[in-house]
Structure 1
Amino acid sequence: MLKFVRWGLVALVGLMVLAFAVIYGGSEIIIRSKPETPMPTIVAASDPGAVARGAYIGRVSGCDGCHERNLQGGPWGGDFWQGSVYTANLTRVVPHYTDSQLARAIRSGVRADGTQLWAMPSETWTTMTDAEVADVIAWLRTHSPAGPDRPRETFGPLGRLNILLGRAKSTPAWVADAKAHPAVEVGPQFARGRHLAVTVCGECHNSDLKGREGGAPDLLIAASYDLPGFTKLLRTGVAMDGKEKGLMSEVSKANFSAFTEADIAALHAYLTARAEKQ
């Protein structure tokens, strides 16, 4: 009997080792893969208003939220089982990237060495115009190197299993999904608002603005706000019921409060028109 138990334990250990090898090896192939992504020909803008425009985009889009106001990044979360994510210290990364490489990283989620980024929401910015990207790069290049380098993301056992099963996706995979599921068009007069909704709201509410299961809702909810109420939400984080709404309120106070009145109006007009079309 002891002999059978011993052999059973040996077999069990062998299966566990095999499973680990399959999960680690398979996920590592995905992690190290280099997607074929065209290199855009974009040069940092140099006109007098470029840096200010880039800073505005960086603020409302949350660049200086994830990467901190000083753009030096830091730990973003995680644990042994899932892995750990750090936001990059952009002040130290940017000098090692060409303008074209930065543009590709922003809109496609690919590093200078061709490997895939993870947890970088490039799917939100894949429709960002060349001019906007050029402004953002101009703004990024005004920050002198400071602070510590941040490590790359790590992948724990469950994180690797989720990658292998397709439950966890790299940034380029999210970009491809966003391109396949665009937000609805409601006419050229709402183009600015649609663009803002996709490039600013899409990170939480998905590229098609239909929300995420168990997360942010479909932005049809925006139609329940009049313009003053919508403006108050974005400026203060206070909803029409007089209460704050978790992450939405945090992002509103930290980032959306920087929106111009014109952009708030354009965003509200598009979201209202979108709701009427549904």
Structure 2
Amino acid sequence: MMRIVKIILAAVVAICLIAVAGVYVLSEMRLSRTYDVAAADFTVKTTLSAEEAERRARTLMCGGCHHDAGYVLLDEPGVGRIVAPNLTRFVPMYSDAELVRLIRHGVKKDGTGAVIMPASNFANISDDDMAAIITWLRSLKPLPDAVEGTTQWGPLGRIGLALDKIPFEADLVPAVITPAATRPADIGEYAFKTGCGHCHNLDTAKQSEAFLAPALKPLAQSYSAVDFKTLLRTGKGVGGRDLGVMTEVSQWDFSHFTDVEIEQIQTYLARRP
């Protein structure tokens, strides 16, 4: 009898080990999947001042994720630790064309997909704003990493990768896109498509892996112009409420919108049929 029990236990252990190995192999295959997207030539040419180039780059949410020198976006036991890298160290490794591919397609230098990079929104960034982003990135002075280590996956994250349940935005962007040449004078819709729409829907709440984001149309309608400006400048809701991710992103990025741009954004969100 004991021998049978030992055989069964050995078989169970073997099955578990095979399952673990299978999950690891499949997750590594998912992480190493490459995308057939060419790093097309891109001429970085801008007449903007260095200050305006930085302002535009920051409104497009570079700082909210990467901060000054890297930032931990997610650190969940069992799931993993996702790190947005230090741009001051990372950018010099890329050509301008490779940076454009990364930003617009979510495809890294080695052809694999970036995790969390909102490429499906950034695919809408105009050429002149893209030039502004790269101009600003190239101007950054090297800084030591603000956080130690790189992205690491826990067992639950590995299972999600193995089952292809972890979203890669490179899957959502066509290989060939045709962005506008210039940023529109009225940026209301443009701001939604390049930024706000990553976390929010217009008419319904949107559940992401990390949080539930409210619908933007009723929110924009319910805020006065003063309160909406405070929201984008400070990330604070009515009454000074801390809004978590929104507070952080606003303070890093949305605070760089001009008053006119904030008015255009609220008008678009509130009046859209």
Task: Check whether TM > 0.5.
Answer: yes
Q: Post-superposition shift, 1:191?
A: 6.0
User: Is contact 1:190–1:270 with CA below 8 Å preserved after alignment?
Assistant: no
Counterparts of residues 206-217 of structure 1 (less than 5 Å): 210-213=204-207, 214-217=211-214
Q: Within 2, Cα distance between the matches of 1:96 and 1:158?
A: 31
> Counterpart of 2:252?
254
Aligned to 1:199: 194
Equivalent residue for 2:241, pick from 240, 243, 259: 243
Match of 2:82? 85
1:135-174 Cα deviation digits (max 9, x unpaired): 1001100113331497542222211111222321123135
Aligned CA distance change for structure 1 residues 52 and 250 (closer, same or farther; 3 Å): same
SS at match of 2:83: strand
Partner deviation per Cα, 1:47-96 (whole Å, 9 max, x = no partner) = 3x253333112322331232223xx2143332562222222121122112
Distance verdict in 2 for CA 1:41–1:125, change over 3 Å = same
Counterparts of 1:56 and 1:209, CA distance in 2: 29
Match of 1:6 in 2: 6
CA drift of 1:241 comes to: 4.8
Task: Pick the aligned partner of 2:112 from 115, 120, 128.
Answer: 115
Tell which deviates more after alignment, 216-225 or 261-270: 216-225
Q: 2:64 maps to what in 1?
A: 65
Determine what percentage of the aligned residue pairs are the same residue. Answer: 32
- Between stretches 251-260 and 88-97, larger displacement belongs to 251-260
Matched, 1:27 2:14: no
Contact persistence 1:222–1:272 (CA under 8 A): yes
The alpha-carbon distance between structure 1 residues 264 and 118, as it changes in their structure 2 partners (threshold 3 A), is same
For the structure 1 residues 26 and 191, does the alpha-carbon distance in structure 2 shift closer, same or farther, using more than 3 Å as the test? farther
Aligned-partner Cα distance in 2 for 1:44–1:225: 39
1:269 pairs with 2:263 = no
Q: For residues 93-128 of structure 1, what are the alpha-carbon distances to aligned partners after superposition, in whole Å with 9 as ceiling and x for unaligned? A: 211211110011111111112121112222331211
How many Å apart are 1:267 and its aligned residue? 0.5
Q: Is the 8 A contact 1:94 1:141 kept in 2?
A: yes
- The correspondence of residues 74-153 of structure 1 with structure 2, limited to 5 A, is 74-79=71-76, 81-148=78-145, 151-153=149-151
> Which residue pairs with 2:38 in the alignment?
38
Q: How many equivalent pairs are there?
A: 260
CA 1:107 to 1:166, structure 2 compared with 1: closer, same or farther past 3 Å?
Answer: same
2:171 aligned counterpart, secondary structure: helix
Question: What is the CA distance between 1:204 and its match in structure 2?
Answer: 2.0
- The change in CA–CA distance for 1:242 and 1:64 in structure 2 (over 3 A counts) is closer
Matched residue SS, 2:41: coil
The answer to whether the aligner puts 1:17 opposite 2:12 as a matched pair is: no
- Segments of 5+ residues of structure 1 without an aligned counterpart are 180-188
> What letter corresponds to residue 169 of structure 2 in structure 1?
T
Letter in 2 for 1:76: L
Aligned residue number for residue 52 of structure 1: 51
Distance 1:253 1:93 in 2: 23
| 1:231 is the counterpart of 2:229 | yes
| TM-score scaled by length of structure 2 | 0.84
SS at match of 2:237: coil
Deviations 1:211-264 (A, max 9, x none): 422511111222222323311222233433553433323333333222101110
Match of 1:183 in 2: none
Contact 1:77 1:86 in 2 (8 A): yes
Structure number with higher helix proportion: 1
TM-score (norm 1): 0.83
d(CA) in 2 for partners of 1:90, 1:253: 19
